[in-house]
Amino acid sequence: MPQSRKKPVVIVTRKLPDAVETRMMELFDARLNLDDHKWSQAELAAAMKSAVVLVPTVTDRIDAALIAAAGPQLKLIASFGTGVDHIDLKSARQRGIIVTNTPGVLTEDTADMTMALILAVPRRLAEGERLVRRGDWTGWAPTGMLGHRIWGKRLGIIGMGRIGTAVARRARGFGLSIHYHNRKRVHPQTESELDATYWESLDQMLARVDIVSINCPHTPATFHLLSARRLKMLQPHAVIVNTSRGEVIDEETLAKMLRTGEIAGAGLDVFENEPAINPKLLKLDNVVLLPHMGSATIEGRMAMGEKVIVNIKTFVDGHTPPDRVLETEY
């Protein structure tokens, strides 16, 4: 009888859904993080000395030093997530390590959360909820908890990829006018379907829209894309929603402008130094703060796990994984 092939060592850095972990145990020599603690750089380094495949998440910083110290057997970093800004792609390429992610499966969930924030901030939903919980609500009043309607307003989307396009489709149903800025213009058919206006200049778009939705990835080129200079271009009644990455906004300037009324409100699911939240944001009533839960659905997490497994299985079988990340894309 032919000898069975040895299962590759797959080390998973965080607790994943039970069904995903069970399947990994069946297919691979899987080492799991059962108590779901966030690993230190030392723990990551130890894992990378023995793993053939590392399955990290956005909470793990896989930098050049870690990759340089990895064992020669490490051949694949199969990230559980779409963004890859936590992985030094150049260093991985130089070491001959393939990097994969889980694109597409989080699109609808993240777009739903973005739309929820687009509704929540102008209509002051979080403020109203807190008012009720504090026991301070004394009943309906003609001028009580007045917000702003979103119907007829202009939405400016930064990053018209899968998620940005899904946000635009939802926003159209709520009567918003779609404007967008992207590295390149989307297909004319998509633009026509969404009745979307393209702005080559981000500066010009920001000065004209009522709501800004950030849906671009975090890269060196998008770090503080919404800089202090650009934030000051927004109209005082403008609202910012961010379900992408906190590093895209100059958070310190944003907090200051929200406090002084230079910007009307913000809905933030991500933060520049998460899980630490800027204390200035915590003091503001005109900000909705969420714990990076834009993609947090059971269905989404299961689909992410399935993609990770397919990427690993395809690699182990000697083929190029379907979700290989190329450095040039980021």
Residue 75 Cα distances to 11, 95, 259, 262, angstroms: 12, 9, 48, 49
Please check the confidence at residue 2 and state whether its pLDDT lies above 80.
Answer: no
* C-alpha 211 chain-centroid distance: 19
Question: Which of 253, 241, 255, 246 lies closest to 283, judged by CA?
Answer: 255
269 DSSP assignment? S
What is residue 56's predicted lDDT score, i.e. its pLDDT? 98
CA distance 247 to 231: 14
Active site positions, annotated: 245, 274, 292
Rounded to 10 degrees, what is the CA torsion of 59, 30, 303, 120? -30
- Residue 217 is encoded by which pair of tokens? 């990835």
Mean pLDDT throughout 34-62? 96
Domain limits, the chain: 9-105+297-329, 107-289
Residue 16 has pLDDT above 50, yes or no: yes
Q: Is the dihedral of CA 210, 161, 113, 240 positive or negative?
A: negative
Q: Which residues pair with 55 in a beta bridge?
A: 12
Q: How many CB atoms lie within 10 A of CB 300?
A: 18
Question: Do 242 and 230 form a contact (C-beta atoms < 8 A)?
Answer: no
Per-residue pLDDT of 87-106, as tens digits, reads 999 999 999 999 999 999 99
Bond prior to 275 in cis (omega within 30° of 0): yes
Compute the residue count for the chain: 330
pLDDT for res 301: 97
Q: Does residue 134 register a pLDDT over 90? A: yes
Q: Is the pLDDT of residue 330 over 70?
A: no
Q: Going by C-beta distance under 8 Å and a sequence separation of 6 or more, which residues neighbour residue 94?
A: none
* Mean pLDDT of the 313-319 span: 97
Q: Which pLDDT tens digit goes with each residue over 50-92?
A: 999 999 999 999 999 999 999 999 999 999 999 999 999 999 9
pLDDT at site 327: 74
Tell me the sheet residues that pair with 155: 178, 211
Position 1 pLDDT exceeds 50: no
Question: What's the CATH code, domain 107-289?
Answer: 3.40.50.720
Count of beta carbons in the 10 Å neighbourhood of residue 306 = 16
Q: Fold match between 9-105+297-329 and 107-289?
A: yes
Whether the pLDDT of residue 239 is over 50: the answer is yes
* Reported confidence tier of residue 180, pLDDT bands at 50, 70, 90: very high
Looking at domain 9-105+297-329, does it have CATH number 3.40.630.10?
no
Mean pLDDT of the chain: 96
Of 104, 105, 44, residue with least CA distance to 77: 44
**pLDDT score of 175:** 98
